Amino acid sequence: MKPLSPADQLFLWLEKRQQPMHVGGLQLFSFPDDAPDDYVAQLADQLRQQTTVTAPFNQRLTSRFGQPYWTEDTQLDLEHHVRFEALPTPGRIRELLAFVSAEHSHLMDRERPLWEFHLIEGLPDRRFAIYTKVHHALVDGVSAMRMMKRMLADSPTERELPPIWSLPPRANRQPQPRGSVIDSLSHLLGQSGRQLGTLPAVARELLRTVQRARRNPEYDSLFRAPRCILNQKVTGSRRFAAQSYSLARIRAVGEAFDATVNDVVMAMCGHALRAYLRSQNALPEQSLIAMVPVSLRRDDSAEGNQVGMILASLGTDLADSGERLRHIHQEVGEAKARYASLSAEEIVNVTALTLAPAGFHLLTGLAPTWQTFNVVISNVPGPRQPGYWNGARLEGMYPVSIAMDRMALNMTLTSYCDQVEFGLTGCRRTLPSLQRLLDHLDEGLEELEAALR
């Protein structure tokens, strides 16, 4: 029996019917060369026999004197957690994304360990997919990525690898660093108000701090995000859209513009959001502001794992893609330089103020009239070498994240081999047809390439 950390409690507390707090991952595999046609069904049979379930996958929520605990589930029902499923005809990526969109919208059963593993057949060309869903209170994004890496082998000949729920617990488990904006928010709130009972006090404190900061010209740049449909309340259904891009293409654009891969990716997002919001008649006059979690590692010390967040304009008010990329490059550079000159304490202050409007809303349900950012764009590094799972080659992997009130769209990227993998998770009512962002991402990259010719 292990008490939940305040941050993990916060994920449970924030969860509501229209705002599930689980994260997911979609992985696309190709069959091993020697696999028979019914390979996925055979794999499902093998997985069903992997009945050893290790921590945290055997832990369920219990409560004692109001304090939530993780406790081993003595009634574990593997059939509930490990599901074998199929795509309808014709089994394209479109059907796969529709499947993940629906599954990601569903709350998990809180009486059981908060994870599900979906093995999906029915894709053409000898491929299959895995969609994994884990509550953010059980496993954070970074740990999930680590587990996923531990699940993979470097070679197709290693075949007897256990599935994630059967991985032996690691001997010397370090406290996991937490990477996403929500982690930082919860960390922050956890610091100020250890007990969830004091959350309204935390909200009051946030409000006071923000009001002070808005009168201070030093923090002025924090409050320039325009109002946008991206920052409305969410409803209970999600749309997930995903796509891979060639890292070489993005790198070539970056080199030509003297920008980083991350700058190019942000420029693509800027173009996509501009085009999408224009199609919805909802493009704000001022540019959208993105919040981008960045590593603040200054050396290799253990402390260096700290994650900060910068705010950068996405240049959605600029029509020209090249101009937008140059603008973003400058914005990001300035924000990073600002961070570099800050003391540790100042970083905490900026982080607090950046997150304040979202935090205030999450804590009180009231929409503040100020806004520090419109969209979160995060980048989680993935494996650089091809990975194999019992002989099947991993072809692509896409993060499925959380949409929340006032943060109706989440753009998470990861890298795998020579690919940049985009995963867009959003509220499908607040943001109709958000899958069109994928086409606009394509255009964004093409326009930058065209600008080079």
Select the span of 35-43, 51-59, 244-252, 406-414 touching a second copy (CB under 8 A): 35-43
CB closer to a second copy out of 5 and 18: 18
C-beta of 115: minimal distance to a second copy in Å?
13
Q: With CB under 8 A, what is the number of residues at the site for a second copy? A: 35
- CA nearest 448: which of 320, 361, 311, 338? 320
DSSP lists the bridge partners of residue 378 as 412
Binding to a second copy by residue 303, rule CB under 8 A?
no
**Which one of 52, 237, 306, 415 is in contact with a second copy (CB under 8 A)?**
237
Per-residue string for binding with a second copy, 15-34, x by CB under 8 A?
Answer: --xx----------------
46 lies in the binding site for a second copy (CB under 8 A): no
Task: Say which of 136, 271, 329, 361 is annotated catalytic.
Answer: 136
Beta carbon of residue 33, minimum distance to a second copy (angstroms, whole number): 21
Assess 150 for contact with a second copy (CB under 8 A). Answer: no
75 is a contact residue toward a second copy (CB under 8 A): yes
Q: How far is the CB of 319 from a second copy (least distance, A)?
A: 29
> Strands 82-86 and 115-123, how do they pair?
parallel
Contacts of 195 (CB under 8 A, 6+ apart): 6
Is 80 near a second copy (CB under 8 A)? yes
Amino acid (1-letter code) at residue 395? E
Name residue 291's beta-bridge partners.
311, 376
| Residues from 110 through 149 that contact a second copy (CB under 8 A) | 110-112, 121-122
Instruction: Please identify which residue in 35, 98, 342, 451 interacts with a second copy, judged by CB under 8 A.
Output: 98
Distance CA 43, CA 84 (A): 10
User: Could you confirm whether 136 is annotated as catalytic?
Assistant: yes
Rounded to whole angstroms, the Cα distance separating 70 from 58 reads 9
What torsion do the CA atoms of 429, 434, 435, 438 make, to the nearest 10 degrees?
A: -170
d(CA 340, CA 294): 12
For 22-59, b/e burial (b = at least 16 CB within 10 A) is bbbbbbbbbbbeebeeebbeebbeebeeeeebeebbbb
Q: 94, 109, 200, 381: which one contacts a second copy (CB under 8 A)?
A: 109
Residue pair 29/389 in contact (Cβ under 8 Å)? The answer is yes
Q: Which is nearer to a second copy, 61 or 335 (CB)?
A: 61
Q: Which residues are catalytic?
A: 136
Q: Which residues bind a second copy (CB under 8 A)?
A: 17-18, 38, 40-41, 44, 75, 77, 79-80, 83-90, 98, 102, 105-107, 109-112, 121-122, 235-237, 428-429, 432
